Amino acid sequence: MRCSARTPLAALSLLAALSLAAPAGAADLYVTGGVGMSFGLGDTKSKNVFNFDSTGNDDDNSPVYGGAIGIAFPLSELIPWRLRFPSFDVPYFPGHSVHVSGTEDFHFPGWRTSFELEGQTGRDYNIITDGPNANTPVISNVKSSSFMANFRLDVPIQAPLHVFFGRLPMLEPVTLYGGAGVGASLNEIQATDSALGKDSDQGFTFAHQFKAGIGYALTDTMHLSVGYRYYDLGTLQVGFGSGDAQVQTSLVAHELTTGLTWQFYHLPIFDR
């Protein structure tokens, strides 16, 4: 005998709740300022004038600070299409199934969506690894500033919790966010060689980052963020003299971040 449940599953209820989540208002221009702590991890390969190769890794930490300017608007404006999800049955035992009701008019929720241009500086790492012997380590001092184009999506946590626990007013301003960015890193590396002393180089490398954390709406125009950022600086290299001696360092950073955002100008482009 076929047995069907004629009420939607909790997952479908959750989907419906998410689609009704409070929108992020119309489009707004904003500025963000932030500070954090960066933990850099470096892998170094070196080759001195005597063709002695050495490898190693080290870590160092540094403050990081910067800011961004961007635009925020609801996700439903970025993806305005309406979708239809058909009803279907999920069998879980021969002759038994659970019925999942579809929807004729699903549209994406109004979650806060941001695009921004960001600049970060202050990163300064000393990466010390083994050289030809214990008395001649390879020291790479790296200073880095980044210029990134970022995307970020804030998801309110109240909407899914409402399905199971009802309305929780204290959590309405809270969001979980995730984002990514690509851009350029301006790096300066100064390295030592046991025979030739110090040399340095400076230039741009391709860089990318991923971030996630918790957001909190202090007011309609002020937002606080606390989170984590993974930042890949790329590979830096410095050569010595006209020979083959060189030091090459690949660096990534794991960062604890804080940020305060102020929406300073309302754009009417999405107003109906």
Rounded to two decimals, what is the model's pTM? Answer: 0.77
Interatomic CA distance for residues 9 and 17, integer angstroms: 13
- Work out the pLDDT band at 167, boundaries 50, 70, 90: low
Buried b (16+ CB within 10 A) or exposed e, 131-163: bbeeebbbbbbbbbbbbbebebbbbbbbbbbbb
Structural domain boundaries of the chain?
A: 23-88+111-270
Interatomic CA distance for residues 190 and 109, integer angstroms: 49
Kindly tell me if the per-residue pLDDT of 45 is higher than 80. Answer: no
Under a CB-based contact definition with an 8 Å cutoff, are residues 202 and 188 in contact?
Answer: yes
- Work out the pLDDT band at 198, boundaries 50, 70, 90: low
Which tokens go with 248?
């090459």
- Check residue 133 and give its pLDDT: 63
For the domain spanning 23-88+111-270, the CATH number is 2.40.160.20
Task: Give the DSSP per-residue string, 167-235.
Answer: --GGGTTEEEEEEEEEEEEEEEEEEEETTTEEEEEEEEEEEEEEEEEEEEESSSSEEEEEEEEEEEEEE
**Which 8-state DSSP code applies to residue 37?**
E
Q: Per-residue pLDDT averaged across 123-146, rounded? A: 81
- Work out the pLDDT band at 199, boundaries 50, 70, 90: low
